[in-house]
Amino acid sequence: MKTSIATVSISGALDAKLQAIAAAGFAGAEIFENDLLSSHLSAKEIGAMMRDLGLACTMFQPFRDLEGLPEPQRARAFDRLERKFDVMADLGTDLVLVCSSCSPLADGDRERTIADLVEAGERAARRGMRLGYEALAWGRHVADHREAWSIVRDADHSAVGLVLDSFHSLARRIPASSIGDIRADKLFIVQVADAPMLEMDYLGWSRHFRCMPGQGEFPLDDWAEAIRRIGYDGYWSLEIFNDRFRAGSASQVAVDGYRSLRMLEGGIERPAAAAVELPPRISTTGVEFIEFAASHEEADELGAMLRPLGFRPTARHRNKDVTRWTQGALNLVINCEPEGLAHSFDVVHGASVCAIGLAVPDVPAALARADLLRIQRYEQAVAPDEWPIPSVRGVGGSLLYLVDAATRAAMWAHEFPHPLEPTGPALLTGFDHVAQTMQSEEFLSWLLFYLGLLDMRKTPQVEIADPMGLVLSQAVETPGREVRFTLNGSLAHQSLSSRFIQNYFGAGVQHIAFACPDIFAAADAAIALEVDRLEIPRNYYDDLEARWGLDPELVERMAARGILYDRDGEAEYFQFYTRAFARRVFFEVVERRDYAGYGAINAPIRLAAQARHKPPFLD
Ligand SMILES: O=C(O)c1ccc(O)c(O)c1
Ligand SMILES: [Mg+2]
């Protein structure tokens, strides 16, 4: 796939944008006119810079309101176009994007439109240039790529072609089958954007809500497949108007963009027919372990929270200050080493989750996928007798270890040979989900990370009311729901999530939810060992009884244990929470009875209960 991105997609000054675009691995970039107008560099200098960076200038854009004008506006538009050809020559591109007209002066007569495009094509051809006609979804007379294509086809001029932009076509829900009529040699460039499905005006939706392929809800796989099928082999160019991206880091947005095009190439939701030679997304069968970085003091505190939940320290590392805590098939690792990544993590963030081990069947394939997406591998020094576990950088600089079956067996037996206590009764049977909290600016980036690397699907985004602001929440899940992450992005500075980020000095794991087959048994055992649990107000239970018509006795049993409840049809969800450890990480225990969600309805109750416990220094 030939990759390109419009400079409008990225923050900063034009020269900095181009550097970020080149560093992320793109082959080309579209120069957005406003970026050039506001640059201190001339078009010639930008052109030279692009050549030095190895970037093709794929298009100059946009040229607005060309066709259907009365005189004298028409003559002026053509003069303006000639001037742009000079700029394009300096930039080193032969292609200009012409948007379908939005001018109230434009006449919608089809023959006039064709005649104007032919005239423009003649002028372009004289200068060795070409123009690509794009139907804006809010164009005054041409707002549909089918209409734009029929005009381009009938104009029948070698310098006049079509620009397809997924936003305009998919916002209008134009079927991908309509692309089959387009001739590949007439499709001059393809612009790509995803977006959430919203009910709003096209212009506002397009200018503020576009996102990278995979981050939104447009059916891009079918659309891209239809374009490949006609034999198109030109550039796929991201064009993402989004205020959040323009407020973010240029290099991160550029890398995300590159990653998203690679995802599109291989298929976002299902493998693309054309992508056989690309490393596919990784299947993962479970969370093998979660590792905490902690000082000894913090490790004691953490241990005191884990025991009531049924965990015991069962083994010690052969030569490191690292303890394995287990329960049934669940593994937690507490790392108190005075050096290495875990220690650095503890110094920066305080006691927290520094790594997650994912069970994957094929580690080399996983690393190949990570490389394709430019996800950073993490290589740490391994002593000669140590078992190396490959890893990549995840949320907040934490690691995602990739653990295959051979490593799993060797890792525990070889690295943790010194037994400590026997295991207790297994109350909890698995990791249900891991919740990670981040700034809202990073939210879409991490969504793309998980969806690109792992064979996971996203659930719809929900907004959760925190006592001090809104939090965006969205889950990613493996097809069999063996691994689930929930991502939470705070939209308000005072929300509990934001306080977490401030307190944590960055994004990270805010809670770990364990699965159990009997929540009452798990809660009773935890309470018997004096678990520090989150108290839920009585009002909640009065409402619960009224809302679901639950047996009052069941409601009393839940109230006595601080268990929250949700229901979806016949499916039921029970959950309880511990208080936060080191003011950062807390634990949840859930029992699912065919329930697929995360109890979002209870999140405001939980957040308010946590806010009541907030440590005084955070005020
Ligand atoms: O919003 C716009 O004006 C605009 C400009 C150029 C494009 O390619 C586009 O899709 C939209
Ligand atoms: Mg466009």
pLDDT 10s digits, 28-68: 999 999 999 999 999 999 999 999 999 999 999 999 999 99
Q: What number of other Cβ atoms are within 10 A of residue 347's Cβ?
A: 10
Atom 2, ligand 1: residue with shortest CA distance = 207
Atom 7, ligand 1: residue with shortest CA distance = 62
Does 157 show up as a binding residue in the annotation?
A: no
Ligand at minimal distance from the CA of 33 is 1
Q: How far is the CA of 136 from the centre of ligand 1 (A)?
A: 7
Q: How far is the CA of 491 from the centre of ligand 2 (A)?
A: 28
Residue 207 CA, closest ligand 1 atom number: 1
Atom 1, ligand 1: residue with shortest CA distance = 207
DSSP assignment of 97-115, as one string?
A: EEEPP--TT----HHHHHH
pLDDT of residue 619: 38
Does 239 show up as a binding residue in the annotation?
A: yes
pTM of the model: 0.94
Ligand at minimal distance from the CA of 241 is 1
Choose among 80, 562, 518, 21: nearest CA to 252. 21
Claim to verify: residue 337 and residue 454 sit in the same structural domain: no
Asked if residue 281 is part of any domain, the answer here is no
Q: How far is the CA of 44 from the centre of ligand 1 (A)?
A: 24
Residue partners of 16: CB distance under 8 A and separation at least 6: 250
Atom 8, ligand 1: residue with shortest CA distance = 62
More confident of the two residues 300 and 498? 300
What CATH number is attached to the domain comprising 597? 3.10.180.10
The string of pLDDT tens digits covering residues 464-505 is 888 778 889 999 999 999 999 999 998 877 777 777 777 766
Claim to verify: residue 345 and residue 476 sit in the same structural domain: no
Check the CA dihedral 31-33-34-40 and report its sign: positive
CA distances from 294 to 392, 393, 558, 596 (A): 21, 19, 33, 33
Lowest mean pLDDT across 319-323, 382-386, 539-543: 382-386
Does 134 show up as a binding residue in the annotation?
A: yes
Strands (E), 478-610: 484-490, 508-515, 564-568, 571-577, 586-593
Atom 11, ligand 1: residue with shortest CA distance = 136
- Tokens of residue 542, six digits: 């009065």
What CATH number is attached to the domain comprising 149? 3.20.20.150
Q: Is the CB of 207 under 6 A from ligand 1?
A: yes
Ligand at minimal distance from the CA of 190 is 2
Last residue of a domain, one of 375, 390, 419: 419
Q: How far is the CA of 35 from the centre of ligand 1 (A)?
A: 14
Q: What is the mean pLDDT of the chain?
A: 94
Q: Is the CB of 99 under 6 A from ligand 1?
A: yes
Pocket test for ligand 1, best of 7, 33, 34, 136 (most atoms within 8 A of CB): 136
Asked if residue 488 is part of any domain, the answer here is yes
Last residue of a domain, one of 419, 447, 473: 419
Distance of CA 442 to the CA centre of its chain: 8
Residue partners of 267: CB distance under 8 A and separation at least 6: 221, 275
Element (H, E) at 373: none
Claim to verify: residue 22 and residue 166 sit in the same structural domain: yes
Residue pointed to by tokens 């065919």 = 594
Residue 206 CA, closest ligand 1 atom number: 1
Provide mean pLDDT across the span 446-456.
97
Q: How far apart are CA 554 and CA 574, in angstroms?
A: 12
Claim to verify: residue 187 and residue 317 sit in the same structural domain: no
Q: How far apart are CA 15 and CA 17, in angstroms?
A: 5
Helical spans, DSSP H, in 350-439? 363-372, 405-415
Claim to verify: residue 464 and residue 345 sit in the same structural domain: no
Residue 167 CA, closest ligand 1 atom number: 10
Element (H, E) at 437: strand 430-439
Asked if residue 278 is part of any domain, the answer here is no
Exposed / middle / buried, residue 447 (Cβ in 10 Å: 0-12, 13-18, 19+): buried
Pocket test for ligand 1, best of 60, 98, 134, 190 (most atoms within 8 A of CB): 134
Asked if residue 170 is part of any domain, the answer here is yes
Asked if residue 354 is part of any domain, the answer here is yes
Provide mean pLDDT across the span 546-555.
93
Q: Is the CB of 61 under 6 A from ligand 1?
A: yes
pLDDT of residue 369: 96
Which structural domain, as residue segments, surrounds residue 176? 2-266
Does 291 show up as a binding residue in the annotation?
A: no
The string of pLDDT tens digits covering residues 76-130 is 999 999 999 999 999 999 999 999 999 999 999 999 999 999 999 999 999 999 9
The number of distinct structural domains making up the chain is: 3
Claim to verify: residue 50 and residue 164 sit in the same structural domain: yes
Does 168 show up as a binding residue in the annotation?
A: no
Residue pointed to by tokens 């066709």 = 67
Q: How far is the CA of 488 from the centre of ligand 1 (A)?
A: 31
pLDDT of residue 504: 67
Q: How far is the CA of 448 from the centre of ligand 2 (A)?
A: 22
Claim to verify: residue 254 and residue 344 sit in the same structural domain: no
In single-letter form, the type of residue at position 458 comes to: K
Claim to verify: residue 443 and residue 490 sit in the same structural domain: yes
What ipTM is given for this predicted complex? 0.99
Claim to verify: residue 407 and residue 452 sit in the same structural domain: no
CB 499 within 8 A of CB 614: yes
Q: How confident is the model at residue 616 (pLDDT cuts 50, 70, 90)?
A: very low
Claim to verify: residue 207 and residue 259 sit in the same structural domain: yes
- Tokens of residue 145, six digits: 């790529």
Claim to verify: residue 291 and residue 214 sit in the same structural domain: no
- Tokens of residue 82, six digits: 């000639």
Asked if residue 274 is part of any domain, the answer here is no
Neighbours of ion ligand 2 (CB under 5 A): 165, 191, 239
Choose among 82, 31, 72, 36: nearest CA to 55. 31
CB 210 within 8 A of CB 195: yes
The string of pLDDT tens digits covering residues 561-572 is 999 999 999 999
Claim to verify: residue 412 and residue 436 sit in the same structural domain: no
pLDDT of residue 618: 43
Does 191 show up as a binding residue in the annotation?
A: yes
Pocket test for ligand 1, best of 8, 64, 188, 239 (most atoms within 8 A of CB): 239
Provide mean pLDDT across the span 148-171.
98
Q: How far apart are CA 177 and CA 87, in angstroms?
A: 37
Provide mean pLDDT across the span 320-333.
96
Asked if residue 528 is part of any domain, the answer here is yes
Q: How far apart are CA 249 and CA 35, in angstroms?
A: 17
Asked if residue 425 is part of any domain, the answer here is no
Residue pointed to by tokens 């078009």 = 43
Last residue of a domain, one of 266, 299, 330: 266
Atom 9, ligand 1: residue with shortest CA distance = 136
Residue partners of 383: CB distance under 8 A and separation at least 6: none
